[in-house]
Structure 1
Amino acid sequence: MKKWIKIIITVVLLAGAGYWLYEKYKPKPEAPIEIPPPITFDVTQETMTQTIQVKGKSVYTDQTDIFAPYASNIKQWHVKSGEQVSKGDILFTLDTSTLQTEVEQLQSDLEKAQLENKMNQVTLDQANMSETLGVTEEERKKAFADREGKRLTNELNQKALALKEKEIQKKQAVISKSVVYASASGIFQMNEEDSKTRAVTEGQLIGSITNISKLKFMTIVGEEEMFRLKVGMPVKVRMTAQKDLQFTGKVSKVSKFARKSTDTDLKQASQFDVVIDLKPDARMYGGVSLEGDIETMRKDKVTVVSSLAIMRDQTEPYVLLDKGNGQTEPLTIQAGMESGDKTEVVSGLKPGDIVVLP
């Protein structure tokens, strides 16, 4: 009896192990293949723009240079380098001691010459009153020559006096320029820091006054872009180092001549300078790197679709219009301007339509 029980238990165990092995290694049925939904694009109505991307730097272009009116030493500075000045403010004063000495000497010489000229005139008048014509022709000629000589000498003395007076006036005019005023408003910057103490020469550049309210974006474009640009086009500007700061400007100048570095090299494409006026903004500084998008074309309320949905393997571009319930219909369209990943649809679609990407 016990023998049969052992046999039954063994059979049950073998059956259980076999079932477990069957369940573990039996082939599993393949999962049903899910068909992904089609990729669709909505047809919308938007404003489309075309732009040209440019890079360059901000530059202060309204700058007034300050020159020394005459050779001298700077006696006193009334402003510091980097200081804001207004038109008419005193910038610096030049030393006039040497010129004053020269003027005093000239005035002394002039007074002496005037006195001598008066004495000569008195002597000439007395000689004319007591002059005898002479008896012989030779005596008369001699008297005439003496009289003419004295007259010419007097005229030369008068001219010499006039020249001295002009020289004095000229030096006095120079002295009147010893106080140098700001000819414009802005930030004054010295050309050289050591010009505070050293002597200056006539016409030497002392510094400049920069109007920081007038900044321009200087950039360069190729010859293809140049023909698309016009004065007055709006520009969106951003700093290269801080792209989150947005600024605005407009094109104020497009050069008609290629840069000299490119107009002589026949292998290199020509480049043209473009100037963009920046709207005043306290966050903008001169000399920083800038990037800009020049808007060359704008269309409002146009029908737009993704460029990916447009197929061009036939004579005319077409799309697959979604008819619903998984049904599509090829539809020929007329495409217009392109901007980024979107294309204008001139005819064939209307806002609200849905197209399918095959």
Structure 2
Amino acid sequence: MDFVSEHAGRPPARLTRRDVARALLAVPSGQALVAVPDLRRAMFAAGNPLSAAFWDSVKATLAAIENGVATVGDVQRWLEATGTEPILITRDYFVWPEEGERGPVATELYELLVAHLEERVESGEIDPDRLVAGDSAAREVYERIQDRWLATPLPDGRVPGAAVSDELDQELFASWDEEEAFALSELRRVLADLPEPSLPSAELAAAAGRLRALLTEPGYPGNVLRACAGLDGEPLPEDDTELWLTVAAGVASPVSDLQDEDEHQFWDLEGELSQEDAALAALCTIHHADWLATVAALARRGPGVLASPERIARLVAESDDIDVDMDDPEDLETTESLFTSVTPLWRELGIVDDHTVLTALGWWGLPKALERAWSPE
């Protein structure tokens, strides 16, 4: 009883089913099973006996864990059946972060929701005995209460669901910026030891001319390059170097999505992605480390080196510039498949030729494009 009270931060008389369940899950299941009878008697003596249905569920769940037949989902569902454990994924597809990954806002609001659910249990609106018995109507009430709370403004004006999502977005952006800043510093470290390639003016002018025509054409690859560079509806830069670097940087770090009149098409889970959507999805999936390893290797080797997707996958696997373990053939295949969407766009930019061999323009421009893509300014 002392352990459970300390774990929950409440005296025995105020312990909830959730408090007891979480404390029992915090110790080995065998130890918890042995402790249940004494704990149940102590709770009864404290005037907080809970219910027979709850204690039966405790023994059944702990026994299933001990025997290795309980899944994570089973345990989560049992916790939720205590009546005051927030649902991990709600009917409206709100997802709470894992306990160790919650920021200050999510932690605060999670505890506020627990308190709200405790009030609903006290009022009788939530019936834990029916929940633990698997009553679908009781479960629907339980889910509806949480969806309503997440969408209702608090006295301070915050909408809980939106506030948690905003915090997660900020954490994601901060993590992304940190990763990008580190990748940029590593790229600059690599480039500092290499000679500065001369600008192939004729090749750049020819590539920019082709690019200006391509960006005005409908369909792939013009629409993908426009989206990557964020040039949909925007006038093209007049300077050839600016135009080329803008588009090349966009391939490494796409600025926007495709402009599609049918906005629901992407959410057709039964359909196949178009060539354009598949290409953009691949570009957005490539990690900073893979770009760094690829461009660093090509910059060191210079014009004439093969830059096919297969070769790029091998360059990433063998790179000394990143800490990556790609001994698994599936990892190589994944990297190769992602760069299969890159090399056709590089060909349009003149970074590689028709045989996917790095050109003088690619040797000069790829490092500059990647540096631009990762620079905050």
Structure with larger RCO (C-alpha < 8 A, sep 6+): 1
TM-score > 0.5 by shorter chain: no
**TM-score, structure 1 length as denominator?**
0.17
**TM-score, structure 2 length as denominator?**
0.16
Higher strand fraction: Structure 1 or Structure 2? 1
**Structure with greater Cα Rg:** 1
Higher helix fraction: Structure 1 or Structure 2? 2
